[in-house]
Structure 1
Amino acid sequence: IPYERLEVSSPGVERPLKRARDWERFAGELAHVELFAPLRAEGFPEAGRRKLEGRIVGIEGESGAEVITFDFFEVDIARTPSAAALRNRKKKTADVSPVRVSFPLSDVDRANLLAELNFKG
């Protein structure tokens, strides 16, 4: 290994969640999850949802049969809105309670943390 070119970096604030211990470590954090097949739950469309954003509640089960508990809700991710989105922005009238879902770790195609940035102080 040519050490003069060796670079070490962090996975960053939106680090991927791959192993069961990653899910344990980041319980309580916001995450984006993509599943192999749609998940059906109360409050979801009839066809189900394959992409979820919400808060990790925890992970339980034996090695190889872990089940993730996740609070799904519509997350306002810190993105720069387009001009059209700013014009069409609707005021939120009521808080929507999260939908608690569970799914096996083996059903997760990919997942990563979502950055919670608060610049308001």
Structure 2
Amino acid sequence: MALQDIVEQTVTGLGYDLVEIERSAGGLLRVTIDLPWDPQAAEQFVNVEDCEKVTRQLQFALEVDGIEYKRLEVSSPGIDRPLRHEKDFERFAGQVIDITLKAPMGAAAAGQVSANRKKFRGTLERAEGGQGWQIVWSDEPPVKPGQKVSKKRPPAPVQALGFTLDELREARLAPIVSFKGRGAAEG
């Protein structure tokens, strides 16, 4: 069996989702796992015991099938989790993400955005009409604590970019860290 099949079968058999497999120079095999998403349940996170359980099972499965590796690393997706499948986009709708397009915008942005731009950060939303996705952002800089903002200055316009998963080179959750604690309101 191929490496992808062995790892996927082992990970899903233990009740986890396989996020990605990466082989690096020097024989490192990196496997990223996540807990299956349940929209009704509270958000849960992969912990050390989950990674340890998958590591033990993968070591056994890879040895049985004779897959060569020097070091195995099993981890959670982290705060900059890659988004690859439709269910990932559904799960993280409303979150701030970073996307990189395969091709630059070109003339499609009607002068609103640089024609060579491929990278965007904004809030992920379902596109109008329910077909595809869009990212919404404003190029206005964030207000720093204690900074006075003129009420006369017009706000920067909100922009939206519609895209399909086929147009993406990469999509990830934006690694935004708040030291105010989990669930703290932005601002």
Q: What's the TM-score bracket when you normalise by the shorter of the two chains?
A: 0.5 to 0.7
Partner of 2:103: 37
Query: Is 2:67 aligned against 1:2?
Result: no
Shift of 1:69: 1.4
Give secondary structure in 2 for the equivalent of 1:2. helix
Shift of 1:120: 4.8
Q: Structure 1: where are the runs of 5+ without partners? A: 62-66, 77-90
8 Å CA contact retained: 2:121, 2:135: no
8 Å CA contact retained: 1:54, 1:74: no
Higher relative contact order (CA 8 A, sep 6+): 1
Query: Is 2:133 aligned against 1:68?
Result: yes
**Structure 1 residues 36 and 9: alpha-carbon distance in aligned structure 2, compared to 1, 3 A threshold:** same
**Structure 1 residues 108 and 117: alpha-carbon distance in aligned structure 2, compared to 1, 3 A threshold:** same
8 Å CA contact retained: 1:53, 1:73: no
Q: How many equivalent residue pairs? A: 101
State the alpha-carbon separation in 2 of the partners of residues 23 and 75 from structure 1: 25
Partner of 2:160: 100
Shift of 1:118: 2.0
Give secondary structure in 2 for the equivalent of 1:72. strand
**Rg: which structure is higher?**
2
The two structures, once aligned, show a CA RMSD in angstroms of: 2.9
Q: Structure 2: where are the runs of 5+ without partners? A: 1-57, 61-70, 142-147, 182-187
What percent of counterpart residues are identical? 33
Q: Which has the higher strand share?
A: 1
State the alpha-carbon separation in 2 of the partners of residues 98 and 51 from structure 1: 16
- TM normalised by structure 1 equals 0.66
- TM normalised by structure 2 equals 0.45
